[in-house]
Amino acid sequence: MTFIERDGHAGCEPTDKPVELRDGPPAVVRPFEPIPVDELADAYADLDEAYAELSPQTQFHRFLSVMPRLNVALHRRLVDGVDGVDHVALFMVVLPDRGRESIVGLARVVRYPEQPQDADVAVTVRDAWHGRGIATLLLEELMLRRPAGVTRLRTQVSADNAASLAMLRRLGPTHVTKASGGVYEVEVDLPPVSPVAR
């Protein structure tokens, strides 16, 4: 369910949304479904493999630190925590004419339980696929499927991550304040989601 290749030939699922990349094969956005308990160990291993494939810079931009490996708490938050209601995750799959499909990006939005109108957001794209509009496409679709009632994003962004800051600013009025350690606190006021879009 992470940045892995699936066995078999590429094909669309009923919940897929086709998207066009700036440069590359056909692709779809697919929801990350909750993982059955008996498949969690495999999902954790896939996540570890995906994390290890990221460059140190991409790791830092995603987690604001570079860890040798993901810990148990992160496994549970990033895998077990996805419920499709308060924690929504989407991934992008490229569909080559032949061979196996490959997951190239993952985005998630997570409601803050103490402030249910606010949510955190994160997008990760495999290094080889940077610059093709994947993060923007994932984020746009994620905002359409965000948890009901969420009207504001609150997240942290590395000060050197200009691409993420620009992407967030395109979502709505944005407030950026400098925090410690070269990190910005970012708030984005989101426009309403129309019933048709949902």
- Give the residue extent of every domain in the chain: 17-189
pTM of the complete model: 0.88
Residue 7 binned pLDDT confidence (cut-offs 50, 70, 90): very low
Render pLDDT for 97-144 as a digit per residue (tens, 0 to 9): 776 788 999 999 999 999 999 999 999 999 999 999 999 999 999 999
Domain 17-189 class, CATH top level: alpha beta
Question: Secondary structure of the chain in the HEC alphabet?
Answer: CCCCECCCCCCCCCCCEEECCCCCCCEEEEECCCCCHHHHHHHHHHHHHHHHHCCHHHHHHHHCCCCCCCCHHHHHHHHHCCCCCCEEEEEEEECCCCCCCEEEEEEEEEEECCEEEEEEEEEEECHHHCCCCHHHHHHHHHHHCCCCCCCEEEEEEECCCHHHHHHHHCCCCEEEEECCCCEEEEEEECCCCCCCCC
